[in-house]
Amino acid sequence: MSTSSGQPTIQGVVFTLRIILFALASGLITFAMVTIAIVNPGDPQPGEIPSEPFLSYVAYRFLLGAVVGSFVVPRLIVATQIRQLARADNAERGATLSHLLLGLFQIKTIVSAAFYEGLGFFALITYLVEESVIVFPVALIALLGILLFFPTTSGVESWMESIERRIGEQRMMNP
């Protein structure tokens, strides 16, 4: 979905991101169903000592890293782009600013969701290896983390307006 000049529209970007995020979430759900079908924890055999679910504990630690990373890294990307856009000539920025901001919104959204996708797959692989259900909340939180970034048209418009204001502020501070 783009304008006649080939520039993407907000609705087009929202639609594209929804497809990407749906695919990320669907991949986790599908892999979760596969892991559940493969692993049947059942009852331990007599005399069998259950092993310590070390990787499950690591998954919980990775959860903290994914939450922090999904907010910090995209913010750093956006801040860097704001500085670059503030230094650009007005002639360069003109009609392409909204195009650049839409691309930046896509990048920050995909990077944010990717942290959770990686975490979710790690949690599910941990379940395959350890057969311990204590890691399922991590996979569920990862799925919810991906869904958290589903965009709305009004949300993208609001984000773009705030970034345009920040670019203007940067330009005034560094004429």
Q: Does some domain include residue 86? A: yes
Which amino acid belongs to residue 32?
A
Q: What percent of the chain is modeled with pLDDT above 70?
A: 85
Q: Does some domain include residue 4? A: no
Domain count within the chain:
1
Q: Does some domain include residue 125? A: yes
Mean pLDDT confidence for 73-86: 91
pLDDT at 140: 96
Q: CA 5 → CA 82, 128, 156, distances in Å? A: 24, 49, 21
Q: Does some domain include residue 93? A: yes
pLDDT tens per residue, range 28-45: 999 988 888 888 655 555
- pTM, two decimals, is 0.82
Grade residue 86 by pLDDT with cuts at 50, 70 and 90: confident
Q: Does some domain include residue 2? A: no
Q: Does some domain include residue 46? A: no
83: CB partners within 8 A, 6+ apart = 170
DSSP of 91-106: HHHTTHHHHHHHHHHH
Mean pLDDT confidence for 48-59: 77
Range(s) of the domain holding residue 34: 10-38+56-173
Q: Does some domain include residue 44? A: no
Mean pLDDT confidence for 14-19: 93
Mean pLDDT confidence for 56-73: 92
* pLDDT for 111 beyond 90: yes
Q: Does some domain include residue 72? A: yes
